[in-house]
């Protein structure tokens, strides 16, 4: 059974992914079903200065902010970023008639000017809705903190920390911190590439269908994403090798900053990643050798050590206050299976 940590404990508003990537047999067959019959009109969810309340953005139902506005298209990624075991629901709204650019060589998808992306994060309840907007001069962000009764969410004016039920500390980041990964690192919104979006999604109404096929059907892509650029990334619990699952996790959480020299992108051949028996740039106290990846030795491999370290030393450095031990175990299993460098 696949493990999709992107989905919240209960359906928040948008939907849930129900297939997390591919098996070792290669790319999953493209679905013949589509989840949405026609492109929804979008008259209200547009890039603009953020108001004080989420209910005032035009991206949710003004009377019930837990529901998205009609023009918001739900989606999910195969491998979400680690956010301390919280889940998330995602949606995108596009200006009427605008399409998402597709790089046929890399599979990267770039939303158009005027696009609005929303991600609602929660555990036992909604905690935050993050908003990413592409304006003429670039990307801007806003964050909304949900009230405990979930009646609405209020604009976050500055970074802050709250304690969730169960004692988990959750940090609301600044806009500049969000853009470090989304734009400065990735060059576009995180997750918007073929290997992340090529999967089956459970759409509202109970229909499960391929996301890319649905995007193509409703006409929001400028061209289809080639199969060669959209081999699905497997989630941690998918029926795939430890190598593929570990590489997919590192891509989703690290590659937006580490894609040159140290290249953790999923599609990069292992021999070209700059990891195996390569000396690390930043020392970690108590680790001998400081090797990014030491074959068969996770304890000497910074890829593993950084995942397990305290918050000050751990990677990824933003958006997390708790180590992802499930991911660290998969990375360790991959490293243990490497006999020597290619």
**Look-up: residue for tokens 């301390």?**
84
Strand partners, 145: 128, 154
Rounded Cα gap, residues 15 and 75, in angstroms: 7
Rounded Cα gap, residues 176 and 298, in angstroms: 33
| Structure tokens belonging to residue 271 | 């021999």
* The pLDDT of residue 210: 96
* The pLDDT of residue 167: 80
Residues of the chain scoring pLDDT < 70: 1-32, 174-188, 282-289, 311-314, 316-319
Rounded Cα gap, residues 342 and 334, in angstroms: 14
* The pLDDT of residue 303: 94
The DSSP line for 253-288 is HHTTT-EESEE--TTS-GGGSS-BTPBPSS--TT-S
* The pLDDT of residue 8: 42
Burial class (CB in 10 A: 0-12, 13-18, 19+), 300: middle
* The pLDDT of residue 185: 46
* The pLDDT of residue 258: 82
Chain CA centroid to CA 89, Å: 10
How many C-beta neighbours within 10 Å does residue 199 have? 29
pLDDT in tens, 150-173: 999 999 988 888 887 778 788 887
Segments in 91-203 forming alpha helices (H): 175-179, 194-197
* The pLDDT of residue 312: 63
* The pLDDT of residue 121: 93
Listed residue (332, 329, 338, 308) closest to 320, CA to CA: 308
* The pLDDT of residue 32: 59
**SS3 for 219?**
coil
* The pLDDT of residue 260: 83
How many C-beta neighbours within 10 Å does residue 286 have? 8
Listed residue (76, 75, 71, 15) closest to 38, CA to CA: 71
């Amino acid at each position: 059974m696949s493990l999709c940590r992107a989905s919240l404990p209960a359906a928040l508003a948008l939907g849930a992914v129900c297939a997390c990537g591919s098996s070792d047999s290669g790319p999953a067959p493209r679905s013949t079903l589509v989840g949405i019959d026609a492109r929804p009109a979008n008259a209200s969810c547009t890039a603009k200065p953020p108001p004080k309340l989420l209910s005032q953005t035009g991206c949710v139902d003004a009377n019930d902010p837990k529901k998205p506005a009609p023009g918001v298209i739900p989606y999910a990624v195969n491998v979400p970023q680690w956010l301390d075991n919280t889940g998330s629901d995602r949606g995108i709204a596009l200006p009427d008639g605008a399409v998402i650019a597709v790089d046929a060589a890399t599979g990267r998808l770039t939303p158009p000017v005027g696009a609005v992306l929303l991600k609602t994060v929660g555990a036992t309840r909604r905690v935050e809705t993050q908003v990413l907007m592409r304006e003429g001069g670039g990307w801007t962000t806003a964050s909304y903190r949900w009230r405990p009764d979930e009646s609405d969410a209020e604009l976050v004016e500055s970074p802050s920390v709250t304690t969730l039920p169960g004692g988990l500390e959750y940090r609301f980041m600044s806009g500049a911190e969000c853009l470090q990964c989304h734009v400065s690192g990735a060059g576009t919104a995180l997750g918007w590439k073929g290997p992340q979006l090529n999967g089956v999604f459970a759409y509202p109404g109970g229909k499960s269908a391929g996301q890319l096929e649905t995007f193509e059907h409703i006409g929001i892509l400028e061209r289809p994403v080639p199969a060669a650029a959209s081999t699905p990334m497997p989630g941690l619990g998918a029926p795939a090798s430890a190598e593929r699952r570990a590489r997919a996790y590192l891509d989703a959480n690290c590659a937006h900053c580490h894609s040159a020299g140290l290249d953790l992108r999923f599609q990069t051949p292992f021999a070209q990643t700059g990891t195996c028996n390569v000396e690390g740039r930043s020392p970690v106290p108590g680790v001998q050798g400081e090797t990014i990846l030491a074959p068969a030795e996770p304890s000497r491999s910074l890829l593993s050590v950084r995942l397990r370290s305290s918050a000050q030393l751990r990677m990824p450095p933003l958006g997390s206050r708790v180590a992802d031990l499930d991911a660290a175990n998969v990375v360790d299993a991959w490293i243990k299976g490497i006999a020597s460098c290619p």
